[in-house]
Amino acid sequence: MKRVLVTGGAGFVGSHLCKKLLDGGDEVLCLDNYFTGSRANIAHLLANPRFEVVRHDITFPLYVEVDEIYNLACPASPVHYQHDPVQTTKTSVIGAINMLGLAKRLRARILQASTSEVYGDPEVHPQREDYRGMVNINGPRACYDEGKRCAETLFYDYQRQHGIDIRVVRIFNTYGPRMHPEDGRVVSNFIVQALRNEPITLYGNGSQTRSFCYVDDLVEGVVKFMNVPGTVAGAVNLGNPNEISVRQLAETIIDLTGSRSAIVYHPLPQDDPRQRCPDIERATTLLRWQPRVDLTDGLSRTIAYFDELLREADPQPVPLEARAVA
Ligand code: NAD
Ligand code: UDP
């Protein structure tokens, strides 16, 4: 049995990862400061005797004994990471130093949850791992993008200088149940707005593209990558290469929910990437991995989750089936 530390374990992706590791027989230590995560996300895991939780902020040193570390702690939604940009950079950079120091003391394998944001607003499409990116050092996204880039550099230097066994995954837009309803990311925003029959807030003209990966597919790839034997150089993209415009996403969600919502246009946020799509050749070759859940299926599962969540908060629930028929 492995003892595994998951930082950011009470967040959206982290809670799915903890579940997957427990299902695989590991002992899981879930660490979180609950900035964007919640105890509700991990409530279903608490009865498992192999699951333990600690409230901690990774910008402070941590002394625990584990065999493997998944470093996910960091707000991922632009709204949240821009709320306190200095803390976002500290979480990525000082948090990486602390977790790498822990891995060094324990000689433990450590995986970093990096991001497609390291490519910035890319001029190369789709994005391969060897593309160096186009990031604005002085924009509202810089705290996250540059923080994650610096964290990657630290991981590569700890590998070269200290022989640490590292893994770096660049995660592209991932969605699914347990995203926070007020998270601010596009999938949760649109689904919650559609279920409430409220205006769908489309930023810009909606022609910007993203490629959405269902969380189960992502977590499968992350765990596979952690378990690849030997040394791995560089990062691996994980995401779904099925690229659509944000406007198409809005229309799909309106269709799937049977919503009466209208689309309303808001200004495009500064430095919002115009297009994003992963080249996943490295992941398919190295991990024999590719996403299996198509967008309609994944969105339907996510809509069902939010529908139940909103019904719990709403004393006058409108069942999803009725809404779809109306
Ligand atoms: P999330 O906000 O739901 O989860 C992040 C978790 O980290 C939360 O539980 C939060 O409370 C915790 N956290 C934040 N700062 C912390 C700190 N200083 N110390 C301890 N805990 C802290 O986001 P997510 O979507 O689950 O993302 C998880 C990881 O994956 C992040 O590192 C993110 O950058 C990366 N990622 C996610 C996506 C995506 O589309 N979901 C895309 C690219 C990268
Ligand atoms: N977006 C939008 N309406 C929203 C939220 C986001 O049109 O209510 C757009 C946003 O401008 C971006 C895309 O959807 O072009 C994805 O945004 P998100 O915040 O989910 O993640 P990003 O990929 O930009 O980090």
* Residues 236, 286 contacting (CB under 8 angstroms): yes
Is 130 within the bounds of a domain?
yes
pTM of the prediction?
0.96
> Ligand 2 centroid vs 215 CA: distance in angstroms?
17
Is 33 within the bounds of a domain?
yes
DSSP-derived pairing of the beta strands 209-211 and 235-238: unpaired
Supply the CATH number for residue 44's domain: 3.40.50.720
Q: Measuring from each residue's beta carbon to the nearest atom of ligand 2, which residues come in under 6 Å?
A: 78, 173, 185-186, 189, 201-203, 208, 210, 246, 269, 272
Helices 215-226 and 12-23, axial angle in degrees (round to 10): 60
> Ligand 2 centroid vs 167 CA: distance in angstroms?
27
Tell me the ligand closest to 40's alpha carbon: 1
Of 235, 260, 57, nearest in space to 148 by CA? 235
25: alpha, beta or left? (left if phi > 0; alpha if psi -120 to 50): left
> Ligand 1 centroid vs 72 CA: distance in angstroms?
5
Of 59, 84, 61, nearest in space to 73 by CA? 59
Of 2, 310, 268, 289, nearest in space to 139 by CA? 268
Is 8 within the bounds of a domain?
yes
Residues 6+ away with beta carbon under 8 Å from 196: 261, 310
pLDDT tens by residue, 169-179: 999 999 999 99
* Residues 287, 228 contacting (CB under 8 angstroms): yes
Tell me the ligand closest to 115's alpha carbon: 1
Tell me the ligand closest to 33's alpha carbon: 1
Compute the chain's Rg from CA coordinates.
19
Gap between the Cα atoms of 180 and 13, Å rounded? 11
Of 208, 191, 209, nearest in space to 200 by CA? 191
> Ligand 2 centroid vs 212 CA: distance in angstroms?
11
Residues 6+ away with beta carbon under 8 Å from 254: 194, 200, 261, 263
What pLDDT is attached to residue 321? 56
What pLDDT is attached to residue 160? 98
Is 324 within the bounds of a domain?
no
The pick from 117, 171, 201, 246 for probing ligand 2's pocket by mutation, whose C-beta has the most ligand atoms within 8 angstroms, reads 246
The pick from 83, 186, 188, 275 for probing ligand 2's pocket by mutation, whose C-beta has the most ligand atoms within 8 angstroms, reads 186
Within 10 angstroms of residue 209's Cβ, the number of other Cβ atoms is 18
Q: Does residue 265 have an active-site annotation?
A: no
What pLDDT is attached to residue 313? 82
Of 84, 125, 137, 152, nearest in space to 210 by CA? 125
Is 314 within the bounds of a domain?
no
Gap between the Cα atoms of 70 and 93, Å rounded? 15
Which of the 8 DSSP states describes residue 84?
S
pLDDT tens by residue, 33-47: 999 999 999 999 999
State both tokens at 130.
Answer: 């060897």
Atom of ligand 1 nearest to the CA of 59: 18
Number of domains in the chain: 1
The pair phi, psi for residue 291, each rounded to 5°, is -65, 145
Mean pLDDT in consecutive groups of 10 residues from the start of the chain, 326 residues: 97 98 98 97 98 98 98 97 97 98 98 98 97 97 98 98 98 98 96 98 98 98 97 97 98 98 97 97 97 98 97 64 47
Q: Which domain holds residue 76?
A: 3-175+213-238
**Marked catalytic residue, from 70, 81, 119, 144:** 144
Is 67 within the bounds of a domain?
yes
Is 254 within the bounds of a domain?
no
Residues 6+ away with beta carbon under 8 Å from 219: 13, 16, 17, 20
Q: Measuring from each residue's beta carbon to the nearest atom of ligand 1, which residues come in under 6 Å?
A: 7-8, 10-14, 32-37, 57-59, 72-76, 91, 95, 113, 115, 171, 173-174
At CA 191, angle to CA 197 and CA 79, rounded to 5?
A: 110
Q: Which amino acid is at 62?
A: L
Is 280 within the bounds of a domain?
no
Atom of ligand 1 nearest to the CA of 174: 40
